[in-house]
Structure 1
Amino acid sequence: MTEDELIAAIRAEPGLPPPATPAAVKAAEEAIGHPLPPLLRRLYLEVANGGFGPRDGVLGVSGSAYEHHDEWADIVDVHTTLERPEGRPGMVWLFDWGCATWSLVDCTDPDGPMWAWDPGGEPSLSPQNMTLAEWLAASLGGNLENAYETGGLTAIAARRLLPDDLPRDLASRRPLSDDEIVARVREIIALPAPAPAAAVAEAEDAIGRPLPPLLRRLYLEVANGGFGPGGGLLGVPDASAPRPGTDLVECHELFTAAPRLLVPDGMVWLCDWGSTIWSLADCRDPAGPMWVWDPVAPGEAPAAPLLPQHVSFAEWLTAWLEGVYGEGFSPAALRHG
């Protein structure tokens, strides 16, 4: 996406405030001590004085009609009030995600590299591995916000370092039978206990659909999650578990139930690969077709965040049992399923 195409796409967004005056942009640059990245300056002058970008948009410069932030009037207000992040000059507080987490743009580079500020992180200030143009392109259609909601800013930065290389052998294969898969998974040591039948039934009620039969069997007969690739599949909520954690019903309520609706109703978030990448199973089909969620893959244009894997749940688990998703596997390859 060229700069002109990006500007045109942002201009088409509804409800933007009027552009900034040249005097306001010049005053902001003098206060910051660095020129704004050319793309940001163009957007302020030609499109809107703030309000574009994820959620309710970035802050503007003086005179902005942006009214979405209760604390800060514009980028100069934040810049002159908050300390420079780790003493770095030219960093501009651009967008507040909430909970003291910010996206900043580095004005010392014309490309405007984006950085994340999270006082609870180590370190607090970390590069996002994307330029302002890439950050704004990812915000179109909500992909950037979706990535933040399902992974966080650290995960977004990690995803930007994963190249979409040619995949390993992910082609559809003859799956093991359900009995063979259950037997093979049962051989794994240190799995949690199976889920109670009542917990599985309650999870299906919460999702509004029955789980794929193989997944239900594994929960009831083998383990309440913990098996599978990556960090293992999420389980169902079980109050009797010694250390309850994130489960597929919690993720369903966060990302699928209204008003979020990040994916079609009936899909369940099963496996968190990290780096904003998830594997989901489609409960609308007993075979449990698998899908991948990857909202901020590297690229010039916004990509579809949800992609079919063209494998059933049984085929997906068979690939895992045969070592396809083993050490060294890049979850970015799932985009080529």
Structure 2
Amino acid sequence: MTSPQTAPDAATPIAAAETRNGVFAALGAYVLWGFLPILFGLLSNVGSVMIVAERTLWSLLLLAVILGVMGKLGEVLTLLTDWRKSGVLLLSAALLACNWLLFVWAVETGQVLEVSFGYFINPLVNVAIGMVMLGERQNRMQAIAILIAVIAIAIQAAGLGGVPFIALGLALSFGFYGFFRKTAALGPAAGLFAETLLIAPFALAYVAYDLAHHGIGVHADPQTMLLLVFSGPATAVPLLLFAYAIRRLRLTTIGMFQYLAPSLQFLVAIIVFHEHLNGVRLASFALIWVSLAVFSYDSFRRRARG
């Protein structure tokens, strides 16, 4: 198991394999997150709170099956009886619930470009957390990549007319979620199950309240019900991949990978949801990819030297 404070030593074969697996997991998580707005767009008639409640419950069920098959349900009890880790779980669960609710509400109200912008900001939050709280440092090429990203995000902010609440909320909530998951040394599946377990009573109470006061409602439509059930794996799978990656990569590396999801969300906003694209936003999008290219080049160069 690697230390939560530092990245694995890439000079050893096992550590190199761990890092490579972390890279693939991060790529998988951010690609899935990039296309997630499409699912919630199809559920726009359900309401953001109900969607979050349903995705919590279906995620919990899926994770229970996974942990049961793996024989690791006992790990959850161990986590919940550890007071220090329970405190971290409460924080990470609250951050996760806020992030989910804000994300779904933004899609529901036709603000996917702001979702994209929020996740463009998110890597800078990770960089700041990694530098200030974990003592991570960047070399010259990494610093150039981050500087280009800062310029790109400043241009994006100008195109949006200022930094919106949605963007800041998404960036900060998920940035600190990643920090707590990295430093708490929680297993991917067991940690996520414990988090959803803590959110589940509120989700179940809301669903029960809605059914008691409004009847079966959206649950009567088979297609909507199928999409709500699918929100479970659509939620749990990328989070499991993310939790796996965050234990094996530096926060600054994770931060640069996170440009992939907002780039895809940016395209989804324009192509699928037909949100307005102007020259300023397009310029910032191009600079983000330049930043990622510089960072990737530096990573490959250092790996080749190692």
TM-score, normalising length from structure 1?
0.21
Larger Rg: 1
- Structure (1/2) with the larger strand percentage: 1
Q: Report 1 or 2 for greater relative contact order, CA contacts < 8 Å, sequence distance ≥ 6.
A: 2
TM-score, normalising length from structure 2?
0.23
- Structure (1/2) with the larger helix percentage: 2
